[in-house]
Amino acid sequence: MRISHRPLTAVLPMMGVVLMALKGHSFVLTNYSLEKQSTEEIPNSLGHYLYFIVAPTLLYELAYPRTKTIRLSYVVQLTVPMLICFGLMYVIMMQFVNPILSDTTSNIIYRIFRCSLSAFLIWLLLFFSVFHCALNLLAELTMFGDRLLYEDWWNATTMLEFWKKWNGPIHYWCLRHVYVETQVYGNWSKPLASLATFMVSGIAHELVCSVVFRKLSLYFFLGMVVQLPLQLVSKYFENTRVGNMIMWVSLFLGQPLLEVRNLWELRM
């Protein structure tokens, strides 16, 4: 069995479309809110909007913290490990994941669990290459001063703490434009706003994955919905080693299984 198309060629444009949609929403709603609060004309320019489009942030602001220069040595320090991570991901995929998925003699559940470690390593490498290397590289090249792209999610003791820390740009966008806006404009309660935040995140993940894998499976959407009861369980172990272990086990079993399951269906 061979994959009929390359998912990477689909995921990059689709993620670009989703990110532009999130940026556009922030641009429109932020200007609308500022115009309602101020009687003076809001200073906007095409140059500032274009800078917002390329900056590593999803939240539109009238001013951003900026650095004075581009450090070429730091650019090299980010570029080299990023390329190494991409190479390692390719090697792991070709040498470990593909042979297991191509083995039609074994049970599918057995193959999925055999792929879990490799898929989890790919996920860790993807996080480091994108959130630490690529986004910091983009911030350096655009002289963007706010580098809070992620926090110490590996020390999280609840799933809610993990989701708050592992993806800074998406978390802050959801916080402002889903969690807060549903309460301000829709008069929703905090629990309902929290549910809406997870639902929007789940729909966005499923939208990207459905286009990439050419199939609406709802695996990623259901994976996000499952986070709500899992959060209730992990809350009992907040600030404990057991809570941190639950977080790591859920990552090891959850996300790699979703990735491998979709790759397997792509080969069918």
Q: Tell me how far apart the alpha carbons of residues 148 and 47 are, in angstroms, rounded to a whole number.
A: 24
Q: Helix 241-267 and helix 190-213: axis angle, to 10°?
A: 30
11-38 in b/e burial notation, b at 16+ Cβ within 10 A?
eeebeeeeeeebbebbbeebeeebeeee
In 178-240, where does DSSP find H-type helix?
181-184, 190-213, 219-225, 227-234
Which residues are identified as catalytic? 205
Q: Measure CA 253 to chain center.
A: 18
Q: And the tokens for 11?
A: 């995921």
Of 167, 83, 156, residue with least CA distance to 125:
83
Q: Which residues, at least 6 apart from 59, have a Cβ–Cβ distance to it below 8 Å?
A: 26, 30, 172, 173, 176
Closest among 149, 181, 179 to 167, alpha carbons compared? 149
Contacts by 23-26, CB closer than 8 A, 24 or more apart: 23/52, 23/53, 23/58, 23/60, 25/177, 26/58, 26/59, 26/60, 26/173, 26/176, 26/177
Q: In this structure, what DSSP letter does residue 107 have? A: -
